[in-house]
Structure 1
Amino acid sequence: MTNRSRYYMQINDLANAHGPNETLSYAGAGPNDFAAALQEALRSPLLFQRWRAMQPDPDEVDERLGVTDQLASVSAKLADLHTDVEVATDLPMSILRQRLNWLIGANWQLHDVRPA
């Protein structure tokens, strides 16, 4: 049995949503670019590895923070003046939050979580 969940989020101003560190931050052009960037961040360890290399002692970083989900899926679409994002993954919310914060900082709001 899997703990796969579906997360529903909103980003109010995707064009200006950036993470605190420019080398990790999302710099795309719209919802589809963002969905692809977040999906890659959940499926691949590359973003985590870049973040880890920036730490004062990379060898001390807990490897479990770099967990990925090869089956994660992300969709995003414009809705009125915001972007709706839907993520299906078996990663815990703490990891999803970590990747979102690296990409777009605190510029997102979680609205609902359901079993996938």
Structure 2
Amino acid sequence: MTNRSHYYLQIKDLKRARGAEPALSYDGAGPNDFAAALQEALRSPLLFQRWRAMQPDPDSVDERLGVTDQLAAVSAKVDDLHTDVEIVSGLPMSIIRQRLNWLIGAHWQLHDVRPA
């Protein structure tokens, strides 16, 4: 993962942002909790493994969907009435999208991607 990117996201209402599956969903209280949860989801295979175990045929799930980035860094802060999130990672957007959707569903919006 030599090509790292800087992703800029926005969450309109973090207090209500939850994923569809409670066993995978974010349940924290603020931007720092969310940043820690997302960073863990990008660095560790645990969230992927929980999701995989919930599938009808876990052994058929492509292992590449569980890729992680030990150097992923996430920060989040409240700005006016929304939360700004910054991610620096070598993971592709498809994997970051997957983890975000598990944690907070479709309650986020990508604003920009730049080389890190």
TM over 0.5: yes
Give secondary structure in 2 for the equivalent of 1:84: strand
State how far apart, in whole Å, the 1-side matches of 2:2 and 2:90 are: 7
Structure 2 equivalent of residue 28 of structure 1? 28
Aligned pairs for 1:8-47 within 5 A: 8-47=8-47
Q: Secondary structure at the match of 1:10?
A: strand
Q: Name the CA distance, whole Å, in 1 between partners of 2:3 and 2:25.
A: 28
Q: Aligned partners of 1:82 and 1:100: how far apart in 2? A: 16
SS of residue matched to 1:33: helix
Output the amino acid matched with 1:85: V
Q: Which amino acid aligns with 1:2?
A: T
Query: SS in structure 1 opposite 2:112?
Result: strand
Q: Does 1:78 align with 2:82?
A: no
Aligned alpha-carbon RMSD (Å): 0.8
- Structure 1 segments unaligned to the other structure (5+ residues): none
Q: 1:6 maps to which residue?
A: 6
TM-score, length-normalised on structure 1? 0.99
Stretches (4+) displaced over 6 A:
none
What is the rounded CA distance, in whole Å, between the counterparts of 2:13 and 2:36 in structure 1? 17
Answer yes or no: is 1:48 the counterpart of 2:52: no
Percent identical pairs in the alignment equals: 82
Q: How many pairs align? A: 116
Q: Partners in 1 of 2:55 and 2:2 — Cα distance?
A: 32
